[in-house]
Structure 1
Amino acid sequence: MAQLAGSPPARAEANPAAAQGSGSDGFEGPEEPSMPSEPVELPVEQASETVPESDWRGTVELYGFAPLRATGSVTIRGFESDVDSDLGDILSALDWATFVRASVEKGRWGLLTDLSYVKLSGEDGTTGPRGRFTGNTKVSTTQGIYDFALRYRAGAEETAIAEPGAFTFMPYAGVRVLDMGLDVQAEIREVDGTRRLEAERSFGRTWAQPLLGFQATYFLSPKLRAFARADIGGFDFSGAKNYSGNAQLGLGYAVGNNTDINLSWRYLGINYSNGDERPSGIRSYQNGIELGVKFFF
């Protein structure tokens, strides 16, 4: 039919196919928004901060010191008894011995301690010629040596196993406390043998010394290391004579990831006198073998 004049133009019928588009006529309809294959994590505030891993480390060593020879003297109120003993003499007089070392560190700074206590009873000695008399003595001693020090580590961490060439060097400074108990029983004879006397004298003292020292370790193979230690204390403070010292050199071998067996030679010296007119004190020089088991944690 013809369209009447003045009437509105007819609307074109909606073509769903045209609106959606068809691949055959080259037209495409509007695309659906694409969805990501994985969900996007939006930044959120963390509930808690990450706690850093602790860097505390420590060691404990149980050891024994066996002097092959010990020389020196014990003096009590002017009366002096000389001592010269081998390992057999020391073991026969030994009543008790305890030895332990420990250390702890955070970062490169740490603390160390070395504690030892030995009790000997009836060790043979002599007064030697003293003018008018000479004689034999029995010497009993209790000897406590307690070291406490602050140390700094240069080099690698202390471990039982490390690469060859790894080293550790630790200087330290602190205090050494010595606790000595001395007792001498003497059988004294006149030089011409005309008279015999018996006497007993005792002396005890606890005192402190400033302490300086170092420890060092060098790995020869992953399980074998060489180590050294040396210290000196006293510097003649707190007495007319007052010093002590250690020197130690040895090898350690790892028997597990965190355990070492240590064997070393050690020298220990103590010289103390209270400086009285009739002095009391001790001179002791020992060298021998030290065997220890050291744990790393």
Structure 2
Amino acid sequence: MKNLPAVAAIVFSSTCLSTGMSSADPMTRPDQSDAEWRYTGAFYAFTPLRTRGTTTVSGVSAPVDLDLGEVLENLDFAASGRFKAWKGNWGLIFDANYYSISAGGSLPGPGAGSVDVNVRQKWLGLLAAYRVANGTYGASGKRYTVDVQAGARYNSLRQEVDIATPGPTTTLGGDDSWWEPVIGARGKWELNEEWATVASVEFGGFGAGGNDLQVGLNVGFDYQPWDNTSILFGYRYFSIDYSTTLASGPFGYDVEQHGPYIGVKYVFQ
């Protein structure tokens, strides 16, 4: 059983490979009316260059210190997206994420068996946003906006370890789900007609469902080379401190990650 924490650590460290960015956009374009509803859809990928922390499965803890290559090696599928609707100073944000990861390894000793780890996480979030600042800066009159966000997120997490031995197969871990509050803030500053810089921060959990605190910090750019489509990219820091007790024993996931993100945003006329 000595290899179990190592295999689990590789898989659990990948559980935030794709995660939604805080991307509500209250800044109107020249062809949009602030008094009318405007809609935006976006898809993202977050690729952590480094993942560090500790994971616990059935009371067995293991340190995590992995690079991007080790994370990608175990990825099955990942998708993340956001839909936003704004009218005046008020906005609604719908956030959806899904990913599935698996890995396997051999247990020590001749004929001892094997271990397979599977992680599937999905969440759905609904946030309300309010534009607290909307103005211009500099001699050229470039625009900026700042908004704050608050809402709730539903999480569903599967973390299973199947241990196959000459005897019966043992399954550790299981499924868990919970609701948690989410708050955040975001600012956007125009650089020219095509480029803008964006910074955001998001906090979630606050002890709900065993998630003590989840933090996301993003700094990047919004590049719009086409009328309705933008390319979004930048750098992200993410951390989570989650712990609970399942039927098979204590489970914990306390990690931090950082790396680039990239996405595509489409504005619906």
- TM-score scaled by structure 1? 0.66
Contact map agreement 2:34 2:87 (CA 8 A) in 1: no
**What residue is the counterpart of 2:251 in the other structure?**
280
Q: CA RMSD in A?
A: 3.0
1:57–1:257 distance in 2 versus 1, CA, 3 Å: same
Shift of 1:246: 0.8
In structure 1, how many angstroms separate the alpha carbons of the residues matched to 2:163 and 2:64? 13
Aligned residues: 221
In structure 1, how many angstroms separate the alpha carbons of the residues matched to 2:259 and 2:193? 28
**What residue is the counterpart of 1:152 in the other structure?**
130
Q: What secondary structure is seen at the aligned counterpart in 1 of 2:193?
A: coil
Q: 1:179 aligns with which of 144, 156, 159?
A: 156
Judging by fraction of residues, say which structure has more strand: 2
Deviates more, 1:176-185 or 1:283-292: 176-185
1:291–1:104 distance in 2 versus 1, CA, 3 Å: same
Structure 1 residues 1-297: aligned runs within 5 Å:
55-122=36-103, 139-156=117-134, 165-184=142-161, 200-239=171-210, 242-274=212-244, 278-297=249-268
Query: Structure 1, unaligned stretches of length 5 or more?
Result: 1-51, 125-135, 158-162, 188-197
Letter in 2 for 1:82: P
Query: Structure 2, unaligned stretches of length 5 or more?
Result: 1-32, 106-113
CA distances 1:201-228 after superposition (whole Å, capped 9, x unpaired): 2232111111110121001112110001
Letter in 2 for 1:144: K
Letter in 1 for 2:127: A
Letter in 2 for 1:261: I
Shift of 1:93: 0.5
Q: What secondary structure is seen at the aligned counterpart in 2 of 1:90?
A: helix
1:69–1:94 distance in 2 versus 1, CA, 3 Å: same
In structure 2, how many angstroms separate the alpha carbons of the residues matched to 1:96 and 1:57? 31
In structure 2, how many angstroms separate the alpha carbons of the residues matched to 1:94 and 1:272? 21
Q: What secondary structure is seen at the aligned counterpart in 1 of 2:69?
A: helix
Contact map agreement 1:164 1:222 (CA 8 A) in 2: no
Shift of 1:59: 1.0
**What residue is the counterpart of 2:111 in the other structure?**
none
In structure 2, how many angstroms separate the alpha carbons of the residues matched to 1:287 and 1:140? 23
Letter in 1 for 2:87: K
Q: What secondary structure is seen at the aligned counterpart in 1 of 2:142?
A: coil
CA distances 1:26-51 after superposition (whole Å, capped 9, x unpaired): xxxxxxxxxxxxxxxxxxxxxxxxxx
Deviates more, 1:61-70 or 1:72-81: 72-81
1:220–1:54 distance in 2 versus 1, CA, 3 Å: closer
Q: Which entry has the higher C-alpha Rg, 1 or 2?
A: 1
Shift of 1:71: 2.5
Contact map agreement 1:164 1:219 (CA 8 A) in 2: no
Contact map agreement 1:273 1:279 (CA 8 A) in 2: yes
Give the share of equivalent positions with the same residue, in percent.
30
Structure of higher RCO (CA pairs closer than 8 Å, 6+ residues apart)? 2
Shift of 1:55: 0.3
In structure 1, how many angstroms separate the alpha carbons of the residues matched to 2:221 and 2:186? 13
Contact map agreement 2:232 2:262 (CA 8 A) in 1: yes
Contact map agreement 2:233 2:262 (CA 8 A) in 1: yes
